[in-house]
Chains A and B, each alone.
Chain A
Amino acid sequence: MTKTINLTLKVWRQQGPKDKGRFETYHAKNISTDMSFLEMLDVVNDQLTIDDKEPIAFDHDCREGICGMCGCVVNGRAHGAEKGTTLCQLHMRHFDNGDTIAIEPFRAMAFKAIKDLAVDRSALDKIIQAGGYVSVNTGGAQDANAILVPQEVADLAMDAAQCIGCGACVAACPNASAMLFTSAKVSQLALLPQGMPEAAKRALNMVRTMDELGFGNCTNERECEAECPKEISITNIARLNREYLNAGFFSRSI
């Protein structure tokens, strides 16, 4: 049943990358527990606008947990404390009347600040550019059923392919490592026969690029897996390690 709650928000405000940033306190009143977290922010922003203050900048688009555009750290947890949930799918019923909520942006050297809660995650695109594809031009593909793919393999590939590129794994990782993201793409394509011809080059290039972009190193803390809204497993990281080491030592690619 719908009820309403009042909250105190401590929101990170930062004008731009050069600004140092600080927390500001806002009061969110009469918040329906059926609202999503972002709808709660909408309400706060409406009030700020009316009060002649600048609304809080935050990224979002689909609001159904699939585009990967939303994401903040809520009370120390990327996308909030609910398991397998993006911020846009986090509902206010998981909070209690009178709660204080700290809202911070995803923080990592590779994610430059833009404004308030919005950060630049284009580094993730760069990792994909380094090899997160199968090199087939349009046209000329053989019949889709020409190569059989065991259902189990297709399922495993799909498990990895579900990554929405939100960057919560980076945000949650104590080392700001992007291994879960990178491993998800490498795994998807390494598992499927279509991706195999380039597997070695892909693993080498994607890891190299990831390193260059200033992400941290994985120390197997497993925070990413616990926080990932798509519950991507760290078995993918093990697979990436395998693929990479195999490629590094035993393939002809450099």
Chain B
Amino acid sequence: MALDAKIPGGPISEKWDRHRFELKLVNPANKRKFDVIVVGTGLAGGSASASLAELGYNVKTFCIQDSPRRAHSISAQGGINAAKNYPNDGDSIWRLFYDTVKGGDFRAREANVYRLAQVSNDIIDQCVAQGIPFARDYGGLLDNRSFGGAQVSRTFYARGQTGQQLLLGAYSAMMRQVAAGKVQMFPRREMLDVVVVDGHAKGIVARNLISGEIERHAADAVVLCTGGYGNVFFLSTNAMASNVTAAYRAYKKGAFFANPCFTQIHPTCIPVHGTYQSKLTLMSESLRNDGRVWVPKNQGDNRKPDQIPESERDYFLERKYPSFGNLVPRDVASRNAKEQCDIGKGVGETGHAVYLDFADAINRDGRDVIEKKYGNLFQMYEKIMAENPYEAPMMIYPAIHYTMGGLWVDYNLMSNVPGLFVLGEANFSDHGANRLGASALMQGLADGYFVLPYTIGGYLTGTPKADVTTGHKAFDESEKQVTDGINRMLAIDGKRTVDDFHKTLGHIMWDYCGMARTNEGLAMAQTMIQELRAEFWENVRVPGNTADFNQSLERAGRVADFLEFGELMIIDALARQESCGGHFNEKFETEEHEALRDDDNFCHVAAWEHTGDGQEPEFHKEPLVFENVKLTQRSYK
């Protein structure tokens, strides 16, 4: 199948305007005749639900948590980018566009990224109007900071809780529509299938997580905003319920999965400290503005950090990247930390950590200044590690944080299944092979507030209205499939818990499909996953029954999908014989150990089509054409 991204013609800066003009409008009086299902209430789903309802559509919104306000977006700390150029430091729409494309190692679609940069300013306006208490300077203007190595200060923030504030803004806009009767909210529901009728997405099948009941919901379009799949690694900075299930079941219904191997590792997380650990905690990247990263010069140096003299410390980022130093991009910082630990210089009980030292900054600026900047982060660190980072250096280690891959979508954010739209982290669209800090929040809100409300209208007017009800046989089939899957899992009654399988899978993924990959490792991992999957279906133990609040069952379904999806990631990683951004294959590196792209052969989006259980997925290519930026080798020396 040909992958047509439906990118409008004309100069890049005019594409979106032109497209908005060309899209057919839905008559205001007719909007109320259309039902739209939105799955997910993160920044993408929350903003989409609110905006669609404001326009007059009937929206049904679903989420796993007990309240839409708890979607995983809530935990984003650092901030949100926009090209406002308030600090007058040379930012512009064009620069944000360029930085994003370059940061993504030239594996993103130009037109989408440009649009993202264009609407970024509207997002900030909208959020302020909603009453989001962004940080301000003394004069009362909005404050900006520089983030993740950007050369301009374009990041808006609300203390260390930007995601929370943005999400609560979208949530309250949505609650207003719930009160107005335009959004019907279904919390504690897990979508388990997309229902496709005559090739169009016409509804979903979901499980009521309290009663266990399988519910059917029909609509004229389905919008997935179900977040990223970082939890395939078991340990990640994602929330516990983050999953690939929604996206993966859509994939099984014909939607293409794009670039699944593009995952992002965040360099500053609190290190793993035990096998019981259930998740990793991110420490905002802003810490690298003042902290210095180091390890002991000598392998196996077990002395306390304060007993290691300056001359026996290796500030490896400053040494290797004199101009960017500790502020190199996420992937570079992460890989270097891993490299130091791999050669035996790691610190802490496990040897899987490096120091992030604030002693110099405290000496230079005083403790007060540092406390003002990072107080809440230091407190969080102390809570978890029981160590005072004002006195001893922090220990950090990289962790899985974000997934750039996702369901393939065209310029309209519609997947190849007509009527199935995908927004936010769940789609693959804007970040290429690596996402810049503070750009995910921007993308989620751009998609939901400013893109989908236009493009969905184009689909709805352009498609004959078929009034599919939940009695349709496609729903029968879907429901049966879902119920069978559940019953099958419950019947196994094996010996290993769901989490046990999940942890094993996580180890495989982290070791072989994590920060640095090799062809041999990937091939081996593929076999290991197949074996693990086979064992899962024979030996997993899922207690309880289906007609109940059964959290083990919920997890089992998600892990079952991860066990299939992990293999898809590996297939994608193996197919992409180059290194780019978050995908680093050790075979392809520059002399400076940077990712070495192969633009002649891999300047494309890899989109995978499901061809049946246990069968190789089919590869589809969307070539990436760069008309406005020149492809260069990244260098942060």
Direct contact of A and B (CB under 8 A): yes
- Evaluate contact between A133 and B172: CB separation under 8 angstroms: yes
Q: Which residues of A contact B495 (CB under 8 A)?
A: 50
- Evaluate contact between A63 and B239: CB separation under 8 angstroms: yes
- Evaluate contact between A151 and B349: CB separation under 8 angstroms: no
Smallest beta-carbon distance B289→chain A, Å: 21
Tell whether B133 is near chain A: CB-to-CB under 8 Å: yes
**B side interface size, CB within 8 A:** 81
Tell whether A254 is near chain B: CB-to-CB under 8 Å: no
Among the 9-residue stretches A41-49, A214-222, A232-240, A241-249, the one with 4 or more Cβ atoms under 8 Å from chain B is A41-49
Q: Which residues of A contact B168 (CB under 8 A)?
A: 161
Tell whether A105 is near chain B: CB-to-CB under 8 Å: no
24 A-B residue pairings within 8 Å (CB atoms): A32-B276, A48-B543, A55-B544, A59-B66, A60-B240, A61-B70, A61-B72, A68-B67, A91-B384, A118-B549, A128-B69, A128-B171, A128-B172, A133-B176, A136-B130, A143-B125, A144-B84, A151-B136, A154-B134, A158-B135, A158-B165, A161-B133, A189-B131, A194-B131
**Please, which residue of chain B has its CB at the minimum distance from the CB of A166?**
B70
Q: Which residues of A contact B28 (CB under 8 A)?
A: none
- Evaluate contact between A55 and B552: CB separation under 8 angstroms: yes
- Evaluate contact between A122 and B172: CB separation under 8 angstroms: no
Among the 9-residue stretches B139-147, B392-400, B421-429, B483-491, the one with 4 or more Cβ atoms under 8 Å from chain A is B139-147
Interface secondary structure of A, over-half rule: loop
**Please, which residue of chain A has its CB at the minimum distance from the CB of B160?**
A66
Smallest beta-carbon distance A183→chain B, Å: 15
- Evaluate contact between B386 and A194: CB separation under 8 angstroms: no
Among the 9-residue stretches B47-55, B319-327, B432-440, B588-596, the one with 4 or more Cβ atoms under 8 Å from chain A is B47-55
The 8 A CB mask of A32-58 against B (1 = contact, 0 = none) is 101110110011001011101111010
Q: CB within 8 Å of A: which of B43-63? A: 47, 50-51, 54
If A34-B273, A121-B66 touch, whether A135 touches B176 (CB-CB below 8 Å) is: yes
Q: Which residues of B contact A61 (CB under 8 A)?
A: 65, 70, 72, 239-241
The 8 A CB mask of B114-157 against A (1 = contact, 0 = none) is 00000000101111111111111111111000000000000000
Tell whether A130 is near chain B: CB-to-CB under 8 Å: yes
Q: CB within 8 Å of A: which of B148-186? A: 158-159, 161, 164-165, 168, 171-173, 175-176, 178-179, 185
Kindly identify which residue among A42, A91, A122, A157 contacts B276, using a CB–CB cutoff of 8 Å: A42
Tell whether A188 is near chain B: CB-to-CB under 8 Å: yes
Tell whether B453 is near chain A: CB-to-CB under 8 Å: yes
In the complex, which of the residues B132, B135, B141 has the most CB atoms of chain A within 10 Å of its own CB atom? B132
- Evaluate contact between B173 and A154: CB separation under 8 angstroms: no
Kindly identify which residue among B127, B273, B281 contacts A2, using a CB–CB cutoff of 8 Å: B273
- Evaluate contact between B499 and A150: CB separation under 8 angstroms: no
- Which residues from chain A sit less than 8 Å from chain B, CB to CB? 2, 16, 32, 34-36, 38-39, 42-43, 46, 48-50, 52-55, 57, 59-69, 85, 89, 91, 93, 114-115, 118, 120-122, 124-125, 128-130, 132-139, 141-145, 147-151, 154-155, 157-158, 161-162, 164-165, 188-189, 192, 194-195
Tell whether B628 is near chain A: CB-to-CB under 8 Å: no
**Please, which residue of chain A has its CB at the minimum distance from the CB of B172?**
A133
**Please, which residue of chain B has its CB at the minimum distance from the CB of A205?**
B179
Q: Which residues of A contact B54 (CB under 8 A)?
A: 137-138
- Evaluate contact between A154 and B135: CB separation under 8 angstroms: yes
Q: Which residues of B contact A118 (CB under 8 A)?
A: 549
Instruction: Give the complex CA separation of A69 and B164 in angstroms.
Output: 13
- Evaluate contact between B69 and A138: CB separation under 8 angstroms: no
**Please, which residue of chain B has its CB at the minimum distance from the CB of A58?**
B551
Instruction: Give the complex CA separation of A144 and B50 in angstroms.
Output: 20
Q: Which residues of B contact A137 (CB under 8 A)?
A: 51, 54
If A129-B176, A143-B125 touch, whether A138 touches B210 (CB-CB below 8 Å) is: no
- Evaluate contact between A138 and B453: CB separation under 8 angstroms: yes
Smallest beta-carbon distance B44→chain A, Å: 13
Given contacts A35-B277, A137-B54, A161-B133, 17 further A-B contacts (CB under 8 A): A32-B276, A49-B497, A50-B541, A63-B278, A64-B281, A67-B65, A68-B74, A91-B384, A115-B548, A118-B549, A120-B66, A122-B187, A133-B131, A138-B50, A150-B140, A154-B133, A189-B131
Q: Which residues of A contact B94 (CB under 8 A)?
A: none
Tell whether B612 is near chain A: CB-to-CB under 8 Å: no
